[in-house]
Amino acid sequence: MSALEPDDPHSVGAYRLLSRLGVGGMGRVFLGRSPGGRLVAVKVVHAELVRRPEFRDRFRREVQAARLVSGAFTAPVIDADPDAPLPWLVTSYIAGPSLEQAVVERGPFEAGAVLALAAGLAEALVSIHAVNLVHRDLKPSNVLLAEDGPRVIDFGIVRSVEADSITGTGLVAGSPGFMSPEQVNGDAITPASDVFCLGAVLAFAATGANPFGEGPTPALLYRVVHNTPDIGTVTDPALHALIGDCLAKDPARRPTPQEILARVGALGDESTMALRHLGPRSRQGNAPGSPTPAGTPFPGARATDPGAPTNVLPRDAGPGPLPQQATTVAPRFHDRATRVGAAPEPDPAATGPTGRRAGRERGGSRRAFLFLGVGGGAVAAAGVGAGFWLNRSAAADRDRATPPSSASPSSSPSASAPRPARPLGHWPLDETSGTVARDTVGGHHGTATGVTWGPGGGGAVFDGRGGQIVTGGPVLETGKGRSFTVAAWVRLSTAPENWATAVSQDAEDASAFYLQYAVEGNRWAFSRPGQRAVGRSEPAVNVWTHLVGVCAGQARTLRLYVNGVQEAETEDTAPMSATGPFVIGRASYGGQAVDFFPGAVRDVRVFDRALTADRIKKLG
């Protein structure tokens, strides 16, 4: 999820748009709010599609057909306007991460959970097929894991089996690796095609990998048509047989969704939808990780220093309030808030090569950054950690390994031995004099310039004009596919008049990341150039605050924690490799030192992995 871009509409029909959920081949998808306060997903069709002959008529027919779909495991279409300059449709907003995110960030699910997933998705297909529709794009990113079961979303290329396809001649609808052989070959598409896609989705959930491997699209499509799927690691006999039958090359040999429900139902209660949420059980009250009502102090918040005044920074006039970010979906929209802290946070290691960010855009000025505003945008639809309904044994979570940074992208998440969450670098900043800031773990000592030392190990004190601590070289690898965590205690001595960065690492002509104060909105943020995960709590002067920024490389997300509570998440769309030194007290842009921090920083730690929420709480 990200903030609205300059060319994005602020409203569509009667729906106010709050933020971007994503972009697909059919159009842009936004989080919106209905006039009555309901959160919805709004899809606006790409302009180039509207220019195609007969598009509107076909879009109208498909919207009418999709509106007929009802069922516990689908996201129904609730509104649409095929005659708008850019046609749009509105579906129910589902609070929960996608299956793709859940698997990438936490590994494959156990057999019982995958069988339960099969039941929910099969029932969704029954609802879709009952109105003569074929989804044609069932894949892990189109399955959301809500608290009460999975939901099939994105009817962007769904078609009526009685009508022409919305795609033109010679165009293939679907996603490579999650397409049926008949889709690849351009043959007749029947409901059996969705069953093949379901088999690929279940294989992904059970193994963490596509059953037809990875690689260029032509190679994937060839394997879909000609190769036997790789499901040898699925050891549960019932699940193995089910996936294998769904992936039969001959559509006539695949089970129907009704037959899948009968098979899964016969396996007993373990495969029903009444499964425990993934992760620890819900806490009562406002324990760390639970929803925090407005006006309630955040869990873990530190008292102000003795004798120091506490000044809450004034809130800028700006966008109206958005749904509370990350910790809750506003209770007035849902009977029960969705806790992002309900499950351990993802912990993938880096598996992809580092890469330089192409086309770095920071805008015309430093204030040109888009930000999520007061409260950001509801992240639950695209973020991880919402209370998953799928269960996974405690032993499976405990034993799941994190792949080393040298592993290939196709390595299994459970192929290596687990690594302890030890810091790559730790700067206590408890010096009392001198110009050396010691790294007590990795030996990446920093040189302090324009810095004074607080009494009694009170941290490094920066004047906000030129103070900085700079290491002799790079510390973190921050490029494409790389996961890392940055944590620091910070205290503002005055209300900044501009951006103020506590921790960063230099790249070629800008910082690769920023743990910072964002002047627009008066919020803490964890950022990359051009994108920000902006928190919702208001920074205060003379108050020690614990900030943690997490980059989950494989999932391409940035998350911000404030005093142990996740406050924001955004998509990491353009990761940048940090080739320069690690810096405390400022950032860089255009080859210049900028964003000097006015205040104190202490206990800075960095990790070469995405820490879990529980581990982050222990850092504070």
Residue 150 pairs with which residues in a beta bridge?
145
43 marked as binding residue? yes
DSSP assignments along 158-190, one per residue: -EETTS--SSPTTPPPS-TTSS-HHHHHT----
Structure tokens at 13: 């029909």
The C-alpha atoms of residue 198 and residue 191 are separated, in whole angstroms, by 11
What CA–CA distance (Å, rounded) separates 350 from 608? 8
Residue 224: burial class (beta carbons within 10 Å; 0-12, 13-18, 19+): buried
CB 110 within 8 A of CB 391: yes
Query: Across 423-497, where does the E strand assignment appear?
Result: 425-427, 436-437, 446-449, 451-453, 460-463, 468-471, 484-492
- Show contacts of 311-317: CB within 8 Å, 24+ apart: 311/495, 311/540, 311/541, 311/542, 312/538, 312/540, 313/495, 313/522, 313/538, 313/539, 313/540, 313/541, 314/495, 314/522, 315/374, 315/521, 315/522, 315/538, 316/520, 316/521, 316/522
Q: In what helix (H) or strand (E) does residue 121 lie, and over which residues does it extend?
A: helix 111-129
User: Catalytic residue positions?
Assistant: 137
Residue whose tokens read 């009526």: 160
- Give the pair of three-digit tokens for residue 30: 């936004």
Cβ contact 119:271 at 8 Å: yes
User: What type of residue is 433?
Assistant: S
How many residues appear in the chain?
Answer: 620
- Residues 6 or more apart in contact with residue 153 via CB below 8 angstroms: 41, 74, 75, 91, 94, 142, 143, 144
Residue corresponding to tokens 């992809």: 352
Residue 47: strand, helix, or coil: helix
Q: In which element (H, E) is residue 42 found?
A: strand 39-45
How distant is the alpha carbon of residue 250 from its chain centre?
Answer: 36
325 to each of 292, 372, 569, how far by Cα in Å?
11, 9, 8
Residue with tokens 């008529």, as numbered in its chain: 57
Calculate the CA 199 to chain-centre distance.
24
Q: How far is CA 447 from CA 134, 294, 403, 439, 579, in A?
A: 62, 42, 34, 11, 18
Q: Give CA–CA dist 192/198, Å, rounded.
A: 10
Q: What DSSP string describes 207-275?
A: HSS-TT--S-HHHHHHHHHHSPP--TT---HHHHHHHHHHT-SSGGGSPPHHHHHHHHHTT-GGGSS--
- Identity of residue 574: A
Q: What are phi and psi of 33, to 5 degrees?
A: -130, 130
CA quadruple 133, 138, 141, 144: dihedral positive or negative?
Answer: positive
Cα 329 to Cα 92: distance, rounded to the nearest angstrom: 14
Q: Which residues are annotated as part of the binding site? A: 43
What residue numbers does the annotated binding site for ATP cover? 43
